[in-house]
Amino acid sequence: MSAGIRTYLELMRYRNCLMAGFAAVIGTLIAFNILTSGPSNSNFEGYFPFLDAGLVFLVVFLVSGAGNAINDYFDIRIDSINRPERPIPSGRVQAKEALYFSYFLFALGTLLAFSINYVCGLIALFNSLLLVLYAKTLKGTPLLGNLSIGYLTGSVFLFGASIFGFGGIKVLSVLFLLAALAITAREIVKDIEDMEGDRREGADTLPIRIGAKKAGNLAVLIGLLAVLLSPLPYFMSILGLSYLYLVFLADLGFFAAILQLLLRNNPTKSSKMLKIAMFFALIAFIAGV
Ligand SMILES: CC(C)=CCC/C(C)=C/CC/C(C)=C/CC/C(C)=C/COC[C@H](O)COP(=O)(O)O
Ligand SMILES: CC(C)=CCC/C(C)=C/CC/C(C)=C/CC/C(C)=C/COP(=O)(O)OP(=O)(O)O
Ligand SMILES: [Mg+2]
């Protein structure tokens, strides 16, 4: 792979984009399973829509990549303190190149989403605008910025289900809620991790506003709520028993991350552990189909 392509994939943070894309397809799979099974009054029949599922993956990959690239464009000064190795502060990508690249990815992703159906198109358009707004202003609005990323990441499940219109979205709203809570908690932990550079740049984040301790306690509360609600998809008959067993492992990971924050005061490790726990939760979602 040429160094250029590798650098642009790094700018997109392609691993996160892959995870988000797969999560969206899991959303498609779960919605398909529910809408095609059950009593004779099921309102959707047919084969799994492989082509649309592929497009769902691609759109989420592209829009997530665009969101990360534009985020790095606006964060160049802060990242030169907090993350100097990233493509823009390290000088491997020009800031303007990153900006035009993100516009291109947003446009391509949104056009492809409209080619699936108008519900997908509208979600992709709204999310793209929100990602630009986040990078420009919302990031500097304590809690609202964190909640925006919680919504955006949770929405990948709704997006995957929206292949089947609004019916699919309703079915998957509980997965949206779990992911949105878990991601919001992690975003607060990431803000605690970044406090030093953020403070030097005069950024206004939740831990800077109310202190690391209180922000950490709020992250713990939101994370615990996600864990507490995690059996819901089983009890709502959205996912099977295998989900319940496996999500228990993910929940243990969430607990370990919480302890890392509360007892060891280590937000960096806690944020990494939260990401691993989320990966396990995604596996639990697949296993439960
Ligand atoms: C309790 C329970 C069952 C929770 C559900 C957790 C779950 C399945 C969450 C979904 C995770 C998901 C779809 C992740 C996609 C990857 C992604 C885009 C994450 C958001 O990242 C934003 C972040 O600021 C980037 O962080 P970093 O990688 O540290 O730079
Ligand atoms: C459903 C569709 C079509 C799209 C969803 C797209 C997704 C998953 C968006 C959520 C995740 C994402 C890609 C966010 C981008 C912005 C962001 C928070 C990047 C992380 O940047 P950092 O620089 O690590 O953190 P800051 O928030 O402090 O800048
Ligand atoms: Mg940033």
| CA diameter of the chain | 62
Write down the mean pLDDT value for the chain: 94
pLDDT at 188: 98
Q: If you take atom 13 of ligand 1, which residue's CA is the nearest one? A: 20
SS3 68: helix
pLDDT at 39: 59
Return the CATH architecture of domain 1-170: Orthogonal Bundle (1.10)
Q: Which helix (H) or strand (E) holds 144?
A: helix 144-161
Spatial contact of 41 and 81, defined as CB atoms under 8 Å apart: no
Is pLDDT larger for residue 43 or for residue 221?
221
Structure-token pair, residue 47 = 């084969």
Q: Which residues line ligand 2 (CB under 6 A)?
A: 20, 59-60, 63-64, 67-68, 71, 75, 123-124, 127, 131, 134, 139, 149, 152-153, 155-156, 159, 194
CATH topology of domain 172-289: Four Helix Bundle (Hemerythrin (Met), subunit A) (1.20.120)
Domains in the chain: boundaries: 1-170, 172-289
With a cut of 60, say whether residue 287 has pLDDT above it: yes
Do the interacting molecules here have an ipTM over 0.90? Answer: yes
With a cut of 60, say whether residue 132 has pLDDT above it: yes
